[in-house]
Amino acid sequence: MQLTLLSQLMRQLLIAILLFTQINFLSAQHPATDSTQTLEEVTVKAYEQNRKLMQVPAAVAVVSKAQLSHFTNTNILPALNNHPGIRMEERSPGSYRLNIRGSSLRSPFGVRNVKTYYNDIPYTDPGGNTYLNQLGFYNIQSLEVIKGPGSSLYGAGTGGVLLLKTNHANWHPGLSFDYSAGSFGLNNLNTNLRLGTDAFQNTINYLQLSSNGYRDNAELDRKVFTWDLTANLSDKGKITTHFLWGDLFYQTPGGLTLAEYNSNPKAARPRVGMTPGAAENKAAIFQKIFLAGISFNQKFSDHWQNTTSFYGASTRLLNPTIRNYARTSEPHTGGRSIFQFTKHFNEATKLNIVTGVEFQQGISSVRIYSNMNGNPDTLQTDDEINNRVFSAFAQATLELPHSWFITAGASVNAQNISITRFSNTPVSEQKRKYNNEVAPRLAILKQLAKPLSVYGSVARGFSPPTTAELLPSSGIIQTNLNPEDGINYEAGIRGTANSRRIYFDVNVFRFSLKNTIVQRRDAAGADYFVNAGSTKQLGVESYFSWSFLVSSPHMISDLKIWLTHTWNDFTYKDFKQVIADYSGKKLPSVPENVLAAGVDLALKQGLYMNVNYYYAGRIALNDANTDYAPSYNLLGARLGWKKNLHPKVLMELFIAADNILDEKYSLGNDINAFGGRYYNPATPFNFAGGISLHFNFK
């Protein structure tokens, strides 16, 4: 009762503060000055372009540490959702999905069909799964999201590419402590130690986050230790090493029917007939991960350089569910090597060639037992999965006079998988080979003026089924699944105005996909997958920002408003299952319209405020489009104060709130769930407050 009263008072206080500050600040008139670094000035790594965003012919979302820090410092979800075409979901605390232009259609949980790199090291495993939930907020300093097929340079995939960076942009020796606490038992602690010199940098980080969760059976405990080392051996050579250890536990409350959702959204999935409930069977994830990687960068001459990365990783996963108990061991290794050649013919003509290979090898062991109140009981299946992935790629970018940029690239991809079932008598083995799939890409950009550019591209995407789709929780091996294959056409425009204070980025795309992989769930909640014919996906993604800067006599140092909009028209073009015909139906999991907006304000006294609004339209929950999740509106805010306690000591205090309007909604819906068990209720109004101390040793 006291906690509920406190939440109501906090919500009313925050709404009053927001209204007061908006009326006062927006009614003031202040002259503007030169802008600080804006999005178009950021150097983008996507497609190994390593150039300003204005000269990159691709739909790329760049998320800086400043953007990540506009919320409660618990995860990257709200910052990603503020970018058009991207939708990150949380089915329960710690259980994430990443949807780029509808890519989560085949993901009942986890991140699939989005190739992810961790400091240039392949982080997505050979089976196609990405344990993004293992990384905490403080492990990520910045990220880039390539929207649409990136197969020409990043191997098989149709959803997109995620490039994660853990290194500080402006590294310096020091020590940082961050602590915050908040609603539903949230405790968030991070320690970051940076030792060495500019030529020999050590960064050691430990974070621990725990929460009781809003729903029953929704506790979370995440511990992550990382050690990054960068050694500049010479002006032309550099070595970086990365060590990651993570220990993650979270409970899974399960999906609810609409009646259960309306009656008690806090409840975990109840017992239904002979199927036990989530709390009764102690449904949860116990996940441990270890990763060690090393990258070598060598500049051989003014024209040639090479970056080569190797890694080894292992994941141990225990997963009691309502129907069984899975014990999985997933060791894997791999690497990526890129050669770059650059030649300047004159001041206006330059050629850049990128060529390389990427390989991964994994041997997984998956044992499924019956679940006896959260403990493994009778062995049901015992499988060994051998995955081998290889891709070779090449790309050329020609910079021509009058600011023309032409990029052409292609990759050849091969994947072999074998599944051996030792629980059968005799032992059985199923194999599948996805070989020699060529994925080309062509892109052209014209910089009409320094602050304005237009581009167009066409790319093919190829995406074999992941291990989790070939061997789903139903236990039935599905090597008959075929890979997805699609063509993406895209055009975009970027520009600035008013002395770079106004920035806009708009792109349109048409993506045609064949053999689309979609998820199904049976009566017991087990997943299985089918190829769903073809789809037609049309979209428009828009970003707009306007920065106001105030001269020194005034109290405001920075004021920025921004707005993003996503329009999707995603439908099945040809999809028939037995007697059901879903042709022309909307693809589930994707809202037709998404709108995000915000105001970022900073005062010279160290005070700042970030206000964020998010709207998602209604979402189809099944292929037949008979059930929809309603639209919802979210309001969030962060108020903070930064103060130098000493020339080398910076303190920051903040309070942040999410879902200030206390909206009732389901963020991570279970698509095509049997019996209409779609809904995973999201957290209502919640808040957190924290303190950060940063010590500079330099």
d(CA 75, CA 207): 12
Task: Locate the DSSP E strands across 347-403.
Answer: 349-372, 375-400
Confidence of residue 389 (pLDDT cuts 50, 70, 90): very high
What mean pLDDT is predicted for residues 602-606? 89
Lowest mean pLDDT among 211-215, 316-320, 433-437, 637-641: 433-437
Task: Give the pairing of strands 114-118 and 160-165.
Answer: parallel
pLDDT number for residue 524:
63
Task: Give the pairing of strands 484-497 and 576-577.
Answer: unpaired
Helix ranges (H only) for 238-351 are 258-263
Q: What percent of the chain shows pLDDT beyond 90?
A: 70
Residue 609 one-letter amino acid? M
pLDDT number for residue 73:
94
Residue 560 one-letter amino acid? K
Per the DSSP assignment, residues forming a β-bridge with 153 are none
Q: Are 670 and 696 in contact (CB under 8 A)?
A: no
Q: In degrees rounded to 5, what are phi and psi of residue 138?
A: -80, -5
Confidence of residue 26 (pLDDT cuts 50, 70, 90): very low
Element at 5 (helix H, strand E)? helix 2-27
pLDDT number for residue 36:
40
Task: Give the pairing of strands 86-92 and 60-63.
Answer: unpaired
Residue 453 one-letter amino acid? S
Reported as a single tens digit per residue, the pLDDT across 95-107 is 998 989 887 677 6
Q: Are 430 and 390 in contact (CB under 8 A)?
A: no
Confidence of residue 12 (pLDDT cuts 50, 70, 90): low
Q: Are 415 and 385 in contact (CB under 8 A)?
A: no
d(CA 86, CA 594): 10
Confidence of residue 11 (pLDDT cuts 50, 70, 90): low
162 vs 114, 224, 322, 356, 393, CA distance in Å?
7, 20, 32, 19, 18
Q: Which of 126, 114, 123, 122 is nearest to 335 (CA)?
A: 122
46 vs 42, 61, 92, 420, CA distance in Å?
12, 10, 31, 38
Reported as a single tens digit per residue, the pLDDT across 439-449 is 999 999 999 99
User: Does the structure show a pLDDT above 80 at 482?
Assistant: yes
Task: Give the pairing of strands 502-514 and 484-497.
Answer: antiparallel
Confidence of residue 385 (pLDDT cuts 50, 70, 90): very high
Structure tokens given for 314: 């292992």
Burial (0-12, 13-18, 19+ Cβ within 10 Å), 95: buried
d(CA 69, CA 188): 14
pLDDT number for residue 574:
85
Count other Cβ atoms within 10 Å, centred on residue 173.
Answer: 16
pLDDT number for residue 320:
95
Confidence of residue 359 (pLDDT cuts 50, 70, 90): very high
pLDDT number for residue 467:
85
Which are the contacts of 551, defined by CB distance < 8 A and separation ≥ 6? 30, 31, 32, 33
pLDDT number for residue 550:
53
User: Does the structure show a pLDDT above 80 at 125?
Assistant: yes
Question: Taking all residues of the chain, what is their mean pLDDT, rounded to a whole number?
Answer: 89
Residue 616 one-letter amino acid? A
Burial (0-12, 13-18, 19+ Cβ within 10 Å), 223: middle
pTM for this prediction: 0.91
Q: Is 49 left (phi over 0), alpha (psi -120 to 50) or beta?
A: alpha
Q: In degrees rounded to 5, what are phi and psi of residue 501?
A: -80, -25
User: Does the structure show a pLDDT above 60 at 24?
Assistant: no
DSSP per-residue codes, 523-536: TTS-EEEEE--EEE
114 vs 111, 158, 163, 450, CA distance in Å?
7, 8, 10, 33
Q: Which of 298, 332, 404, 358 is nearest to 153 (CA)?
A: 358
DSSP per-residue codes, 618-679: -EE-STT---EEPPEEEEEEEEEEEEEEETTEEEEEEEEEE-TT----BSS--TT-GGG--B
d(CA 241, CA 448): 41
Reported as a single tens digit per residue, the pLDDT across 499-555 is 888 999 999 999 998 888 877 766 666 777 888 788 899 999 999 999 887 555 678
Which are the contacts of 658, defined by CB distance < 8 A and separation ≥ 6? 71, 72, 78, 634, 636, 683, 685, 686, 687
340 vs 304, 391, 395, 412, CA distance in Å?
6, 17, 10, 18
User: Does the structure show a pLDDT above 90 at 109?
Assistant: no
User: Does the structure show a pLDDT above 90 at 349?
Assistant: yes
Domains in the chain, CATH or no CATH each: 2-696 (2.40.170.20)
pLDDT number for residue 32:
35
Structure tokens given for 627: 């059930």
Query: How many helices (H) and strands (E) would you count in the chain?
Result: 6, 39
d(CA 180, CA 189): 7
Radius of gyration of the chain (CA): 25
d(CA 298, CA 339): 10
| More confident: 206 or 577 | 206
483 DSSP assignment: P
d(CA 501, CA 358): 41
pLDDT number for residue 478:
82
Q: Are 358 and 348 in contact (CB under 8 A)?
A: no
User: Does the structure show a pLDDT above 70 at 17?
Assistant: no
Confidence of residue 8 (pLDDT cuts 50, 70, 90): low
d(CA 656, CA 639): 6
Element at 437 (helix H, strand E)? strand 428-449
What mean pLDDT is predicted for residues 579-603? 92
User: Does the structure show a pLDDT above 70 at 3?
Assistant: no
Q: How far apart are the first and last CA of the chain?
A: 49
Lowest mean pLDDT among 260-264, 427-431, 650-654: 427-431
| Cα atoms in the 13 Å half-sphere on the side-chain side of 193 | 6
* Tokens 């051989």 belong to residue: 300
| More confident: 77 or 480 | 77
| More confident: 156 or 100 | 100
Count other Cβ atoms within 10 Å, centred on residue 401.
Answer: 9
pLDDT number for residue 552:
52
pLDDT number for residue 416:
92
Three-state SS at 288: strand
Per-residue three-class SS string for 228-240: EEEEECCCCEEEE
* Tokens 């992989």 belong to residue: 517
